[in-house]
Structure 1
Amino acid sequence: MFQLGKTIVSEDLIDKDFVCNLSACKGECCIAGEAGAPVEEEEIAVLKEIYPKIKPFLRAEGIQAIEEQGTHIKTDLGELETPLVNGAECAYISFNEQGVAGCGIEDAYNSGVIDFRKPISCHLYPVRVQDYSEFAAVNYHKWPICDDACTLGKELQVPVYKFTKDALIRKFGEDWYAELEKVAKEMS
């Protein structure tokens, strides 16, 4: 672990390799699990505002879940998440012709309909950020369904921090990322 500003960063972001391999996993991270994707407080208004624009990119089941539960939910523990379809996959999920899961929000973004890519927690994955009162912990999340991504990352020699560069800059800023690159260079 090392400190960058008000963050404590796991060395796994530098030591571990990762590149999503959607042809192998089929987007399982949007399907598996017991909860929706974490949503930040400031993303709530954005999700409400863009919902009419992203609705055409969503499946009927997702639309129904969102219209019944809302564009986000609050758990019993007070955490904000995307709603789920029947307690399973994310309500914002979309599938391409090959049956690979994707994000309807990101589909709308890629089509130029909206300027919000997707919740930052999704964009950052496999990086997870836990906010505390004085700092944020920035960690690599190892999930067996992403083993193919680890293998591909190792083949291509792409460390987690490089794979998630755009998302890390979105979350922490360019200066923070430049400092992370310096630490990575010193560690190699």
Structure 2
Amino acid sequence: MIVIDEIYISDEVVEEQFVCDLNKCKGGCCVDGDAGAPLTNEELNEVINGYEKIKHLITAEGRKIVETEGFYHYDQEFGWVTPTISNGMCAYGIVDEKGIVKCAFEQQYYAGELKWKKPISCHLYPIKISKSKNTEQQYVNYEPRDPMCNPGCVNGQKLKVPVYVFLKEAIIRKYGEDFYEVLSQIADQYYASKEAKK
């Protein structure tokens, strides 16, 4: 376990390797989940404010659900989450010509139409964050979904990219550059130690 301030990071975030292989998983994390994408309180307005920029991209079913049931709803286990359509896909998902599910918010972010990329829970996946109910502690765990994420695990091992490196942008977005620098230094020490034992 790695501890930085009140944040507890599982060793797997440094030790394991992962790189999404979208051609094989087809963006399954946007479909195969226990609920919609978790949203922070700060992200609720981002969803509302960005909807007009993305509604023409999403499915007719997605638009109907959002416009009749709301931009998000509260789940007892996960808190605020995005709505989903009948096949389990996030209502804000779109399917490209290769059959890959992508986030409409992210597509408009890359197009320069939005300043918000997508929910941080999606950006960090397959890292999941949970919070202590009674303290400020947060738990950062590497939780790839089997078998959906198996191609990403294989790809990461092939490319030799640690989880924390693959998710550098998302980790910095969540916790800041100073946090990432400390995490990176700890990782360097781990890999140096591992190499020395060979």
Task: Give the TM-score category using the shorter length.
Answer: over 0.9
Equivalent runs, 1:97-108 vs 2, <5 Å: 97-108=97-108
User: Normalising by the residue count of structure 1, what TM-score does the alignment of the two structures yield?
Assistant: 0.96
Alpha-carbon distance in 2 for matches of 1:49, 1:123: 19
Amino acid of the residue matched to residue 79 of structure 2?
E
Equivalent runs, 1:73-84 vs 2, <5 Å: 73-77=73-77, 79-84=79-84
- 1:13 maps to what in 2? 13
Which has the greater radius of gyration?
Answer: 2
Percent of aligned pairs with the same residue?
38
Instruction: Tell me the alpha carbon deviations over residues 106-130 of structure 1, each in whole angstroms, 9 at most, x when there is no partner.
Output: 1111111101000000000011111
Contact 2:127–2:144 under 8 Å retained in 1: no
Instruction: Tell me the alpha carbon deviations over residues 1-51 of structure 1, each in whole angstroms, 9 at most, x when there is no partner.
Output: 010112001110111111000101111111112310111011001111111
Consecutive unaligned residues of structure 2, counting only runs of 5 or more, are 192-198
Consecutive unaligned residues of structure 1, counting only runs of 5 or more, are none
Alpha-carbon distance in 2 for matches of 1:5, 1:76: 28
Contact 1:57–1:107 under 8 Å retained in 2: no
Q: CA deviation at 1:77?
A: 4.5
Alpha-carbon distance in 1 for matches of 2:29, 2:76: 22
Q: What SS is found at the alignment partner of 1:56?
A: coil
1:136 aligns with 2:166: no
- 1:153 maps to what in 2? 156
Instruction: Tell me the alpha carbon deviations over residues 162-188 of structure 1, each in whole angstroms, 9 at most, x when there is no partner.
Output: 010000000000000000000001111
Q: CA deviation at 1:78?
A: 7.0
Alpha-carbon distance in 1 for matches of 2:151, 2:11: 21
Change (3 A) 1:27 1:77: closer
Alpha-carbon distance in 2 for matches of 1:77, 1:18: 27
Change (3 A) 1:78 1:35: closer
> Which stretches of structure 1, 4 residues or more, deviate above 6 A after TM superposition?
none
Count of equivalent residues = 188
Q: CA deviation at 1:87?
A: 6.5
1:183 aligns with 2:186: yes
Contact 1:57–1:108 under 8 Å retained in 2: no
Alpha-carbon distance in 1 for matches of 2:29, 2:6: 29
Alpha-carbon distance in 1 for matches of 2:70, 2:174: 25
Cα RMSD (Å): 1.2
User: Normalising by the residue count of structure 2, what TM-score does the alignment of the two structures yield?
Assistant: 0.91
Contact 1:65–1:91 under 8 Å retained in 2: yes
- 1:92 maps to what in 2? 92
Instruction: Tell me the alpha carbon deviations over residues 73-96 of structure 1, each in whole angstroms, 9 at most, x when there is no partner.
Output: 112447110101126111011011
